[in-house]
Amino acid sequence: MTLPLDGVLVVDLCQFLSGPYASLRLQDLGARVIKIERPDGGDLSRRLYLSDTEIGGDSTIFHAINRSKESLALDLKNPDDLAALKKLIGRADVMLQNFRPGVIERLGLDYGSARAINPGIVYASITGYGEEGPWVQRPGQDLLAQARSGVMWLNGDHDQGPVPFGLAIADMLAGAAVAQGILASLVRKGRTGQGAHVETSLLEALVDFQFEVLTTHLNDGRRKPKRSEFRSAHAYLSAPYGVYPTADGYLALAMTPLGKLRDLLQLAALDPYAGDPKSWFRERDAIKTIISNALETRPTAHWLALLEPADIWCAKVLEWPELLESDGFKALDMLQTVTRDDGVSILTTRSPLRIDGERTTTSRAAPLIGEQSAAIRREFGL
């Protein structure tokens, strides 16, 4: 199949997760991604281990986020290598970088310099906290960005203190945001020939991620979010919204009229609250305790058989092994095996997008450091 970004050349100078996540999304849409790496060690995420699993000398996270990219090893302190990179930028459609503010200028690869080489280039920058302000030179790391964003106070129960997400959400959200900006800029470039400088930061992406609840905060007297003290799942939503233990697992309940739930579960204890929607937030801990005590008496399957036919929004809480074996997951066909000439083989995810009814599949694993250097130099005369 011909993908939407077929023929688009992306030069990716990024390390770790945010920028490489953006170029992964572009690669999944058909772009050719040339990853620029230091000859002595490459992208630092090659050694960013999520577990003690190593594949072909690199971490699983490096493989996951850099599949099907090409690696060109360049020492940017070497004038000849820097000149080669500038020549490649002259042929590129997109360039990404996520250096700390000031570094890219010292290398002579800032947007102004790149635009002088290639006036139509779409240039993307990701930082930790933008280009101005007291946090500019602080490390742009996911957990630290979460800490500064306020998002940790939306997770967990009231008495837990700040609870971080168990995923690198700042990196992934910033990468997704900059990919959107790149795509929009490529559309404009196709119409006018004009390039663009797309910028975001980890903090900006996290603020945007919270737009719903932050807008509420800004317009309700700036009251702080109040998490439930019991089975909290959302600081701003009323009972019964939450995750509850059953006799053999856990059940998630979303927005549900309390009167209907009372009747189905035959819980007379909910009578004082069923007709008073304001109490569903005001008394949510008491309500959730009543529901929890009832649900833990029977297996999850019993409750699903009772609630789902009544159109109650609920779901069994799955762990990964059960998810992977489920028919719902298998129907999506979200996994693929990618390989490399040195014998590396890794099972990983596929693109979340379907284009013209098809999900893209790639077969090439993440590259060795400089694996394509010789071929790229020949092709572009570097």
Domains of the chain, residue spans: 9-209+332-380, 242-325
Calpha distance 369→36 (Å, rounded): 9
What are the C-alpha distances in Å from 81 to residues 84, 336, 377?
A: 5, 35, 11
Query: Which CATH topology does 9-209+332-380 take?
Result: Rossmann fold (3.40.50)
DSSP-derived letter for residue 364 is B
CATH 3.40.50.10800 at 242-325, yes or no: no
The answer, yes or no, to whether residue 346 has pLDDT greater than 80, is: yes
Q: Which helix (H) or strand (E) holds 85?
A: helix 79-89
CB-CB contact of 306 with 241 (8 Å): no
The count of other CB atoms within 10 Å of the CB of residue 232 is 24
Calpha distance 46→63 (Å, rounded): 8
Give residue 235's pLDDT: 87
69-108 confidence digits (pLDDT tens): 999 999 999 999 999 999 999 999 999 999 998 999 999 9
298-332 confidence digits (pLDDT tens): 999 999 999 999 999 999 999 999 999 999 999 99
Question: Does the predicted model carry a pTM greater than 0.85?
Answer: yes
Phi/psi of residue 121, each to 5°? -70, 145
DSSP-derived letter for residue 360 is -
126-163 confidence digits (pLDDT tens): 999 999 999 999 999 999 999 999 999 999 999 999 99
243-270 confidence digits (pLDDT tens): 999 999 999 999 889 999 999 999 999 9
Q: Which helix (H) or strand (E) holds 96?
A: strand 94-97
Q: Please give the average per-residue pLDDT across 346-359, as a whole number.
A: 93
The answer, yes or no, to whether residue 118 has pLDDT greater than 90, is: yes
Give residue 188's pLDDT: 97
